Amino acid sequence: MSAVVRRVLFSLAVLFWAGCILYFYNSGRIVKYLAPDFRTIALAGGLGLAVLGLFNLLTAFQKADCGHDHGGEGHDHEGGDMNPFTALLLMVVPVALCVAWTKDGFSEATLSRKGLYDDGNAADSSVFLASVLPALTMEEIESSHRKTSDGFLEFSLIELFFATGDRELQDLISGLKVETEGRIIQEKVNNESGTRMRLYRMFMTCCVADSRAIPVILEFGSEPPVLPENGWVKVAGTMTFPEEDGTLRAVLEVERATAAEVPPEEKFLIK
């Protein structure tokens, strides 16, 4: 196969990779895979690949001298053991299938591996972050959290999660009426009476590979209302931190729970 054909094929492969990265960025699907600080890097990488691919494609038909004498014999520096079409397929097909088939979400089994039901590990992992945060007072909490019309203070789920490792914060918000939001899923720990569910969000440091579930337990006191499985809900109730089976758990005693709009950071342009 001629050197020109090989150059064209490999340039097209680079352009395909660039197109995938730029598609994820432009469509918004990238929010599922990269934390905000890393998305600009991905955009720059996609643009860089696009420039490289276009340059190689536009110069593919130019003849170039390798710079040394072969005694009048032809010599191919661009050959290889693998057929270029095979190499192109190996570079393009797996990526294309992943882009087309991925659900942009986690299965319940994956969520379990990422800490959805590991309440003990959740408390342990929050101790360090809680230790480096400044001390809080109830006045500061009330001034920094908006109150709903029915008297609940709006907390992010991650604040309630970190409280499991901070005894001082627990003392402040235990018994407090709070409102938070997240995805709702069935509870599989200490739920013999069937009155509990679990609320979670995914916390991502840099990319989806290091993401982990940030959960709290929802205690309804009776059979939970019908809510969209793994859908977004807004929940309000009284925050508690009971110790169960030797493990400290964050439990929200629910007074109301309703389906909620997907937060902007969770939105992306696919059905």
| 225/65: higher pLDDT | 225
| Alpha-helix runs per DSSP H in 59-155 | 84-101, 108-113, 119-132, 138-144
Q: 91 and 171 share a domain?
A: no
Residues 6+ apart with CB under 8 A from 257: 184, 218, 220, 224, 225, 227, 233, 234, 235, 236
Per residue in 199-249, pLDDT (tens digit) is 999 888 888 888 888 899 999 999 999 999 899 999 999 999 998 888 888
- Is the domain of 84 the same as that of 135? no
Residues 85 and 180 in one domain: no
Give strand ranges (E) for the chain.
153-154, 177-186, 196-203, 212-219, 232-240, 243-244, 247-248, 251-259
Compute the distance between CA of residue 200 and CA of residue 119 in angstroms, rounded to an integer. 12
Which residues share a beta bridge with 212?
203
Please indicate, yes or no, whether residues 96 and 199 belong to a single structural domain of this protein: no
92 phi/psi in degrees, rounded to 5: -105, -45
**Separation CA 103–CA 107 (nearest Å):** 9
- What whole-number percentage of the chain has pLDDT above 90? 44
166/231 same-domain check:
yes
Do residues 94 and 141 both lie within one domain? no
Structural domain contains residue 271: no
H or E element in which residue 15 lies: helix 3-27
**CATH code of residue 261:** 2.40.50.140
pLDDT tens by residue, 81-106: 678 788 889 889 999 999 888 888 88
Average pLDDT, the chain: 85
Total structural domains within the chain? 2
148 with 177, same domain? Answer: yes
Residue 5: is its pLDDT beyond 60?
A: yes
**Looking at residue 72, what is its pLDDT?**
54
Taking Cα atoms as reference points, which of 85, 86, 122, 94 lies closest to residue 5?
85
Say what the pTM is. Answer: 0.77
Task: State which of 69, 100, 131 marks the end of a domain.
Answer: 100
String of b and e for 33-63 (b: at least 16 CB within 10 Å)? Answer: bbeeeeeeebbeebeebbeebeebbeebeee
In degrees, rounded to 5, the angle at the alpha carbon of residue 27 between the alpha carbons of residues 22 and 32 is: 95
- Give yes or no: residues 233 and 121 share one domain: yes
